[in-house]
Structure 1
Amino acid sequence: MLLRFSPTSPFVRKVRLAAAILGQTLDIEPADTQDPSDSLRRQNPLGKVPALLTDDGEVLFDSPVILAYLDHMAGGDRILPAEPRARIAAVRLEALADGLMDAGILVLYEARFRPAERHEPKWLDYQAQKMTRALDALEAATPMGDGPITVGEIALGCALGWLDFRFEGKWREGRPGLVAWYEAFALRCPGFEASKPVA
């Protein structure tokens, strides 16, 4: 399996961690999402990473689909629980963490793609409020962190690590429960330290 990747993408990190947890080997190939000639745009019409090229010629995207596929290839019920209530809890947490990353990326892109004099304060505030609400909800209902690692915990660990990387860890202030969960997760998740994004 070949993973098209960007080294700083938190969604790519989700896939790399899932593979590490499941004991799977992925070949990796960098992708330039800004380059119209990169084959990524033919592999994934959205032009986004991660994209996983499977051994039977399919291209899978985006990260929740890829994690579900990796779980299936590992026999199922590993990172994506089979029991319905546990499964819903895991994918709900994944959706919240993914949404947190999406909002953060939109804030980052506003600065990256528009000059400062054209920034839209209402838009930035709208995204920042999403992030604050998500973090506060996670602090109020921090995952237990005492069972098998799920897709939800993988996504949350990647989201918080990415916020450390891009937003100087400001999420930590006033959220001791979430900080404790994150620090414990970093120790129990295979490949977590090795997959940290670097500038």
Structure 2
Amino acid sequence: MKIYYSPFSPYVRKVLVAAHELGLAGRIEQLPSAAHPINRDQTIIAHNPLGQVPTILLDDGTALADSRVICEYLDDLASGEKLFPKVPAQRWRALADQSTADGILAAALLSRYELAVRPPEKLWQPWLDGQLDKVETSIAAIEKAAPAFGERVDIGTISFACAFGYLDLRFPDFGWRSRHPQCAAWFAGFEARPSMQATRHPVG
């Protein structure tokens, strides 16, 4: 398998963390790419018309896009422990948590593009504030649930960890830990997992 890859993409990181947890990381070749909302990478578009990462190419040439789809494919491919629980109540909890984390990432990425891509004279501060408020209210909700996470390792907790890691990378002044100590304590433990250490975002 081959994956169009960006070391700064939290969605790529989610896929790679899942691959490590499932014992599949060694089967995935990372292809450099330059996904961008304006200067779109035609190499990716040839396989995924949205031109986004992650896009994974299977051994038979099939292309799969979207971290949610790719993670579920990897989970189906792997033997042993699964990241998508089979017990209905646990499955819906993990999927709902993934949705919340992906919403945090969507708002954070839009905020990043607003700051890094849009010309400064066109920056719309109220819109930016609204996106970051989505991040804040979502983490506040996670804060209430975090004490019960325990040793959970599933698609939900992986998604939360990748969201927190991306905030640390792109919004170090957001200061989410000081307002959400339960999340911070949980993340400190989860971040130490080998899968998280192997996929750390580079600085920059």
Query: If the length of structure 2 is used for normalisation, what is the TM-score?
Result: 0.91
What does residue range 2-21 of structure 1 map to in structure 2 within 5 Å? 2-21=2-21
Q: CA deviation at 1:7?
A: 0.6
What amino acid is the match of 2:112? L
Q: Distance in 2 between matches of 1:77 and 1:22?
A: 7
Q: CA deviation at 1:126?
A: 1.4
Identity of aligned residues (%): 37
Show the counterpart of 1:138.
Answer: 142
Q: CA deviation at 1:22?
A: 0.6
Is 1:170 the counterpart of 2:189 in the alignment? no
Show the counterpart of 1:96.
Answer: 100
Q: Distance in 1 between matches of 2:119 and 2:105?
A: 22
What SS does the corresponding residue of 1:173 show, helix, strand or coil? helix
What SS does the corresponding residue of 2:35 show, helix, strand or coil? coil
Contact 2:33 2:41 survives alignment (8 Å): no
Show the counterpart of 1:23.
Answer: 23
What SS does the corresponding residue of 1:28 show, helix, strand or coil? strand
What amino acid is the match of 2:182? G
Contact 1:145 1:185 survives alignment (8 Å): no
Contact 2:54 2:65 survives alignment (8 Å): yes
Matched pairs, number: 198
What SS does the corresponding residue of 1:47 show, helix, strand or coil? coil
What amino acid is the match of 1:39? T
Cα shift readout 1:69-106 (whole Å, capped 9, x = no counterpart): 00000147600101111110001000100100110110
Q: Distance in 2 between matches of 1:160 and 1:148?
A: 16
Show the counterpart of 1:110.
Answer: 114
Q: Distance in 1 between matches of 2:176 and 2:62?
A: 38
Distance change >3 Å, CA 33–CA 73, structure 1 → 2: same
Q: Distance in 2 between matches of 1:14 and 1:111?
A: 24
Q: CA deviation at 1:150?
A: 0.3
Q: CA RMSD in A?
A: 1.6
What SS does the corresponding residue of 2:46 show, helix, strand or coil? helix
Query: If the length of structure 1 is used for normalisation, what is the TM-score?
Result: 0.94
Is 1:33 the counterpart of 2:35 in the alignment? yes
Q: CA deviation at 1:39?
A: 1.3
Contact 2:47 2:63 survives alignment (8 Å): yes
Q: Which runs of 5+ in 1 are unaligned?
A: none
Show the counterpart of 1:70.
Answer: 74
Cα shift readout 1:101-159 (whole Å, capped 9, x = no counterpart): 11011011001221222111221121011011101101111163334510011111000
Q: Which runs of 5+ in 2 are unaligned?
A: none
